[in-house]
Structures are given as C-alpha cells and as structure tokens.
Chains A and B, each alone.
Chain A
Amino acid sequence: MNSTSTVELITQKLAILEPQQIRIVDESARHAGHAGARTGGGHYLLTIVSPKFAGKSSLARHRLVYDALREMMHKNIHALSLKAYTPEEFDLIPTH
C-alpha cells in the first residue's frame, strides 16, 4: 500500500470539515509487525484545526472526523491518534 496516497486521501476526505490546518504523520513504521497491524492499515497521527469544532466536545469532534473518514477506517487506517482544535484553541498552544 502506498502510504503517501493514504495521507492525500485523508486530506481530501477531511475537506468537508473546512480545516484551516491539517497535519498528518504516518507512524505506520513504528507499529509494523504488531498483531493489530496485520490487516495492513496504517497508523496515523492527525492534527486538525477547524472552525466547525467550536462549541463541540472532544467526543463530538472526533465523531465528525470519523464520519468524514468512515469508509477509510479499518481499510487504509488501522489506528488514528487525533487532536482536534478550533482556530482559537490552536493559537493558544505555545509550540505548534
């Protein structure tokens, strides 16, 4: 599987959330070989900044992201570490 295209695909699917920033780190190599990784999906670390998260709990934000990526979950994506911020919250993080 070409991991570059998975990252591109994730970015495309997340466009629906009108993100101001998306950072995707492919951590698949760190997990290669462990039992859960056998299905072939990758491990990704995703940071997404979107005004659509305003007024929403973490649970609701994660659901929005999972919904956008629904058909990729467990096919191209085995595991996703997720940080979801509003632009205002993201600005307050001292080190981006």
Chain B
Amino acid sequence: MDTQETIKQQVTTHPVVLYMKGTPQAPQCGFSAHAVKVLNACGVNNLFAVNVLAEPEFRQGIKEYSNWPTIPQLYINGEFIGGSDIVTEMYQSGELQKLLQEKKDQAAS
C-alpha cells in the first residue's frame, strides 16, 4: 500500500488521529506538544498518533494528503481539522470539545 493509501486508512479507521513530531509522551516540537495538551484537556483517550520523525515517509506524505505545509495535523473521523493554531482556536471557542463529543455520540449510537 502506498503512503497516501495508508494515511487514508489511518484517518478513516481511527476517530482521532494526530500526525506529530515525537510521541504524545515525548513530543519533539512545541507545536506538537501543544496539540497533544489540548487533546488531553478535551479528554481524548483514544488518540492515534503518528510520529513523523520515526516514520519519515509520513512527514512528506501527510503534507501532500491534506495539501497543508505544516505538522502537527489533526484529523477527526477522517476529516482534516487543522494545525496547532486552529486546534487551539477551536478549543478556546469550545468548538473542538463539541466536535469531539458529537463524534463520540455518533460512535455510541
């Protein structure tokens, strides 16, 4: 399977996916660390994280997939949500919590 197909499978089979530098336990970049912190604050306990430093094919591949030039990148139920700034903005407005809760409710029903 090529990288683009693998990414598509990852973002569609896992409800919350973060492409990041480092791991949630040991982020290697301030922006990635921040995205993890926000997701933790939202109570996300099913995060699927891809460390693009450990898996270099995703580092370029994810930028092509979303046509978005930076990492981290957050996906919820297959949909590209944004990078660190947008995730923070959506958390501050409560939009992110709402979105995550909606997806959780959909999965439960």
Contact = CB atoms under 8 A, between A and B. Distances in A.
Interface of B: 21, 28-31, 53, 67-70, 80-86, 89-90
Interface in A43-84: 58-59, 62-63, 66, 70, 73-74, 79-83
B68 A34 contact: no
Nearest to A70: B69
A11 B81 CA distance: 27
Interface in A30-47: 31, 34-36
Interface of A: 31, 34-36, 58-59, 62-63, 66, 70, 73-74, 79-83
B28 A36 contact: yes
B86 A62 contact: yes
B60 to A, nearest CB: 10
A87 to B, nearest CB: 18
B92 to A, nearest CB: 11
A62 B29 contact: no
A59 B82 contact: yes
B85 A31 contact: no
A62 B28 contact: no
Q: Which of B30, B67, B90 has the most chain A CB atoms inside 10 A of its CB?
A: B30
Given A66-B68, A70-B69, A36 B21 contact: yes
A62 B82 contact: yes
A63 B83 CA distance: 11
A62 B30 contact: no
